[in-house]
Structure 1
Amino acid sequence: MNILQALFFPPEQPGGVSSMVPYIQERFNRAGWSMELFSLPKRVRNKGQEEVYFETFDAAEFVGNPIVDKYLQTYRDYVWWTRMRIKRSYDMIHAHHPIAALVMKQLFPDTPIVMTIHSSFERELILNGRIQEGSVEHRFLTSLYRELELKVDQLLTVSESFRQYMTPYLDHPDNVIVIPNGFDEKRFRPIAHDNQVTQFITVCRLVPAKGLDILLRACAKLKQQGHPFVLHIIGDGPIRAELEQLAVELDLYDEIIFYGYMLHPEEFMPFFDVFVLPSRAESFGSVFAEAALCLLALVGTNVGGIGEQIENEVNGLLVPPEDVDALAEAMEKTIVDPSYRYNLARAAWDKAKRVYSLTRVVSQLKEVYVSLSPHPLEDEDQ
């Protein structure tokens, strides 16, 4: 079976799609399946000229809004690039972005299309303060769910909570298959270490949706209570300067290290003790599973896929979003009792190895691909 994995931009950054799809490709190719990756280069801008049409809604009523116009132009660019670059047929196309899925179905209508919805662009924009719920942009982006439901042959998503999020925008949400993300265990190697001071780490894009302002305020409470710690922040983004200034205002600059963007944080992560990220929303939260595979204790907010990964006080600690006091209390527990912290980390590692293995994802995807394939496999073991 010849399969194309259609991404949005190239898989250059860690986390989510980027940390999973290339390893899926490697596993399938090793098993004798032919799998290729395709994406839109970031240098391609304003090349496409074709009109964009949707069957379930009229895009004309949204035209003129800057975010919508940029989205539609990116759609045109994806059409232009795909027409120019893809000169062969595939038995199956698995898309990982709405634009990729809709363009592939437009250009290859007879090819089965699988679409994994990994996250919500509209929710990210709302949490980052760029749009309002119910706005033109919000209505346009949520209209795409029903368009995808009509066009593609199978919708997948990464958590039960995100399937519930999509339910109001779909006619048949029960048809969506949930396949949580998986990770190549060989990339994550716990390392024995003994830090005299508790080392917290967070890895994310520095945007309001990740709740890092809450994290810094929780750290300030820990310092006021006399608890020694260091917080390592890996990632970059538009609010980095704002967070650095907040650290200074909270008298935390000596306790916090801002590293900026790092290509392979999983090589760095095993040397720390606790992964903490108080996100305001997460479809899955891949970095929690990655941290668990590095044998770190987990502290997160009870939102989206994080709440499906962490059972509170069993394999991590869950706190409500926006709650500085609850977050500080959870972090304090991991500081004062290293044995408790290790037991949480060990339980998280056990679950991640069992539930979020790449082997499990590959097996589930094979079932989906075979069920939609017009050409049954000659060798069922492949």
Structure 2
Amino acid sequence: MRVLTMIGAGEFGGAEQHVFDLLRSVKRVEPRLAVFYEGELASRMRAVGVPVRVLSRSPWRAIAEVVDYARAQNIVLLHTHGVRANVIGRLAAQRAGVPVVTTVHSVLATDYPDPLKRWLFVGLEHLTRRQTDRFICVSRALRDDLAAGGIPPERLTVIHNGIDISRFHPDGDAVSLNLPRPLIGTVARMHAAKGYDVLLDAARELVKGGFVGSFVWIGDGPLKTQLARRIQEAGLEERVRIVGYQPDVERWLRAVDVVVLPSLSEGFGLALLEALACGKPVVASRVGGFAEVGEGLAGVRLVPPGDPYTLAAAVDGMVRERVVLPDPDAVASLYSLERMVGKTEEVYAEILAKRSL
């Protein structure tokens, strides 16, 4: 059976990594991908043999393109990720007569700092939700959020993200970084919800208190220029390095001593699992998926979100104390990619079986 997955793919973040891992690993379906931007995800998918269709930026033309493609390719199900893909995919699926599965990666209201955009996209999402047959939530926190919004429990399934343990493990090459240690690494998109402003304030507190190490920020996004300016204004350009998006992030994780994830909101947070699988202790905000996953794993210290002083103290403690290191085998057994893929394929089969009755 052929399943068409849709995602914006304007950048390469956690949702795009999820889609890449899912589509290259499915066993019971023939995957197809539709995106709105030619970029990293499209390139990676083609490299592993998954057909990719780049859609028009015009919503109405994109709907027609998806309908035509679904019919020509004998698509039996659409799987959407992100508001644009959700709305266009649902409207197209209704015309093409195929069911829709939607994966929810984050709390939608926190994705759009601009009030007008938030009002528009949240409104469009709510107007078209009835067209989704099943919502896959990457954490229980997201399931509870959707349930509170009125979606019946029978339309909600929790499937935690999985990681590729052939990539993320302690043994392997590491990037050589000629920076003062200890190295504090952060892997996240440079977006308001990721808490980089809080992290910068925490870094300033640590340096003021005598911390001699360095900070390495791995990621890209709309706040990159603004954050670089703030680093200079704080006089921390020799201590904080922005290295941008890195496709071999596992090599960067192995190079640092502690990983800090200061998100203000988090649907799941693949970076937490990736760091633990590489054997690195993590300081993370007690939000969403971080709280859900981090509570049960060694090597994680959770702190209140938005508090730079508590964050700084936790990082300092993690560096100075003899902490319990993560158990990569436990991470691999609980959050394997194979488990995520298998559970997702079970949802596909269940939805298609109901449609055939």
TM value normalised by structure 1: 0.77
In structure 1, the residue matched to 2:208 is 224
Selected match of 1:90 from 52, 67, 75:
75
**How far did residue 85 of structure 1 move?**
4.4
Amino acid at match of 2:8: F
Distance 2:222 2:28 in 1: 43
Is the Cα–Cα contact under 8 Å of residues 91 and 374 in structure 1 kept in the other structure?
no
Selected match of 2:262 from 262, 268, 278:
278
Is the Cα–Cα contact under 8 Å of residues 79 and 103 in structure 1 kept in the other structure?
yes
Is the Cα–Cα contact under 8 Å of residues 117 and 155 in structure 1 kept in the other structure?
yes
**How far did residue 233 of structure 1 move?**
0.9
In structure 1, the residue matched to 2:339 is 360
Selected match of 1:106 from 91, 112, 119:
91
Amino acid at match of 2:204: A
1:266 aligns with 2:253: no
Structure 1 residues 140, 198: CA separation in 2 closer, same or farther (over 3 Å shift)? same
- SS at structure 2 position matched to 1:156: strand
Is the Cα–Cα contact under 8 Å of residues 87 and 125 in structure 2 kept in the other structure?
no
- SS at structure 1 position matched to 2:37: coil
Distance 1:33 1:167 in 2: 29
Q: Per-residue CA shift, 1:148-194, capped at 9, x if unaligned?
A: 44112111111111222233432425631111111221121324789
In structure 1, the residue matched to 2:22 is 24
Structure 1 residues 22, 255: CA separation in 2 closer, same or farther (over 3 Å shift)? same
In structure 2, the residue matched to 1:166 is 146
In structure 1, the residue matched to 2:352 is 373
Distance 1:137 1:249 in 2: 30
Q: Which has more radius of gyration? A: 1
**How far did residue 75 of structure 1 move?**
2.9
Q: Per-residue CA shift, 1:254-290, capped at 9, x if unaligned?
A: 2111212323322322111111121111111122122
* Sequence identity (%): 27
Distance 2:22 2:144 in 1: 26
TM value normalised by structure 2: 0.82
Distance 1:306 1:278 in 2: 10
In structure 1, the residue matched to 2:2 is 2
In structure 1, the residue matched to 2:52 is none
In structure 1, the residue matched to 2:30 is 34
**How far did residue 145 of structure 1 move?**
4.5
Structure 1 residues 108, 253: CA separation in 2 closer, same or farther (over 3 Å shift)? closer
**How far did residue 115 of structure 1 move?**
1.1
**How far did residue 33 of structure 1 move?**
3.1
Structure 1 residues 184, 363: CA separation in 2 closer, same or farther (over 3 Å shift)? same
RMSD: 2.9
Give the stretch that moved more between structures: 314-323 or 83-92.
83-92
Give the stretch that moved more between structures: 202-211 or 84-93.
84-93
Structure 1 residues 255, 145: CA separation in 2 closer, same or farther (over 3 Å shift)? same
Report 1:341-352 matches (<5 A): 343-344=324-325, 346-347=326-327, 349-352=328-331
Q: Per-residue CA shift, 1:332-381, capped at 9, x if unaligned?
A: 112113x41xx23x24x3442122211111121122111122499xxxxx
- SS at structure 1 position matched to 2:242: strand
Is the Cα–Cα contact under 8 Å of residues 146 and 171 in structure 1 kept in the other structure?
no
Report 1:57-96 matches (<5 A): 74-83=58-67, 85-86=69-70, 87-96=72-81
Is the Cα–Cα contact under 8 Å of residues 199 and 231 in structure 1 kept in the other structure?
yes
- SS at structure 2 position matched to 1:35: strand
Amino acid at match of 1:22: F
Distance 2:306 2:9 in 1: 32
Selected match of 2:277 from 293, 300, 303:
293
- SS at structure 2 position matched to 1:334: helix
Is the Cα–Cα contact under 8 Å of residues 145 and 169 in structure 1 kept in the other structure?
no
- SS at structure 2 position matched to 1:328: helix
Selected match of 2:137 from 126, 150, 157:
157
- SS at structure 2 position matched to 1:187: coil
Moved >4 Å (runs of 4+): 83-86, 192-196
Is the Cα–Cα contact under 8 Å of residues 188 and 194 in structure 2 kept in the other structure?
yes
Give the stretch that moved more between structures: 322-331 or 285-294.
285-294
Report 1:110-121 matches (<5 A): 110-121=97-108
Distance 2:333 2:58 in 1: 38
Distance 2:226 2:37 in 1: 30
Is the Cα–Cα contact under 8 Å of residues 4 and 36 in structure 1 kept in the other structure?
yes
Give the stretch that moved more between structures: 356-365 or 221-230.
221-230
Structure 1 residues 151, 328: CA separation in 2 closer, same or farther (over 3 Å shift)? same
**How far did residue 300 of structure 1 move?**
1.0
Equivalent residue pairs, number: 332
Distance 1:77 1:293 in 2: 43
In structure 1, the residue matched to 2:42 is none
